[in-house]
Structure 1
């Protein structure tokens, strides 16, 4: 009997399950919405084997795009660092990485400052994220890179939660996700929510 090869998506789901990042059957709050399923991709970023696997898979998808800098949010810095390492190994050339954080918890925009600007100015930049939901935070990252003079060539994701396309976030770059996961959500406190 021939074994069916496991896809990258299956391997990511298996890792999430193994690490406790696949939560089902509960009552999950998303602001004013409820769901019974949640994927916590942060669990992958805390496991050496998992982060190495997902970083290499993201890097493979952008290996021939001339990436000079990989950018992520501060909370996902390990993802940016490891994707950059894999891109260096594959392409045999230096790839820098940097993280962007908000100046305060209530800041509306992200901004690159000081010594970070030269790492993106006139460079081909890959933005990496653990997951993409609405695209709101990702859009802020893209704007910060563009404001600093960088060219965003793509978005590398572990999980695309809402089948978001570049058109959905009004951008013209490639989105590569290791897996897609559309979860059903219901407006909290309404008759349509089976969890209320």
Structure 2
């Protein structure tokens, strides 16, 4: 898929929002990618995740894992395209963990996926879970990298769409200074 085709999907589904947003990282931004708007359409989800899966084909991936909520559908569709199983992590008492009797065996080759990264914090937590269980993380795949490639996860990372989106600390946010209320559209209400 070309960048233009990917942008067209995000545009057609209304997934690229403008306003004043409070991100999971705690930072503020005037743009937000609501991947759920894309992921509600199976044909788009399949196309995007198939493209992401192809970037890791031939690397011996045995399992794909993503954090709840955003990474669940991405994990499932990428795993389906690769013909492997799909897992997801969840927060329990504020800590990312593997639940529901999911297991990772020592040496198992695992691909970590997510819908959107800004700082890469949630993905880093998933990587830690996998490594603590003895899994070998082969890479990270994301639909949208809002950090413009600046979120360094120390692993091969593939993003379908890499964009530069300005973020601010709440103290330095010009939107806050203008009195514009924030919106927290993501799955984690922090």
TM-score by length of 1: 0.79
2:16 corresponding residue in structure 1: 22
RMSD over aligned CA atoms reads 2.2
Q: Give per-residue Cα distances to partners, 1:15-40, cap 9 Å, x unaligned.
A: 1111111113x233347644322221
Question: Structure 1 residues 120 and 175, CA, compared in 2 at 3 Å: closer, same or farther?
Answer: farther
User: 1:92 aligns to what?
Assistant: none
* Bigger CA radius of gyration: 1
Counting only pairs closer than 5 Å after superposition, residues 133-152 of structure 1 correspond to structure 2 as 133-152=118-137
3-state secondary structure, aligned to 1:54: helix
| Partner deviation per Cα, 1:105-152 (whole Å, 9 max, x = no partner) | xx2x323357422x4432110001001111111111000000111000
Separation of aligned partners in 1, 2:117 and 2:108: 23
After TM superposition, give the deviation of residue 42 of structure 1 in Å: 2.0
C-alpha distance in 1, partners of 2:73/2:55?
Answer: 18
Using CA pairs under 8 Å that are at least 6 residues apart, name the structure with larger relative contact order, 1 or 2. 2
1:32 and 1:82 mapped to 2: Cα distance? 29
Q: Which residue of 1 aligns with 2:7?
A: 13
Residues 103 and 110 in structure 1, CA contact (< 8 A), matched pair in contact too: yes
Partner of 1:144, secondary structure, is: helix
Distance (whole Å) between structure 2 residues aligned to residue 149 and residue 114 of structure 1:
18
Instruction: Give ranges in structure 1 of 5+ residues lacking alignment.
Output: 1-6, 89-94
**Could you tell me how far apart the structure 1 residues matched to 2:171 and 2:128 are?**
35
Per the TM alignment, residue 8 of structure 1 is displaced from its structure 2 partner at its CA by 2.8
Choose from 80, 86, 92 the match for 1:97.
Answer: 86
Aligned counterpart, 1:127:
112
**Conservation of the 8 A alpha-carbon contact between 1:79 and 1:129:** yes
Q: 2:72 aligns with which of 74, 77, 81?
A: 77
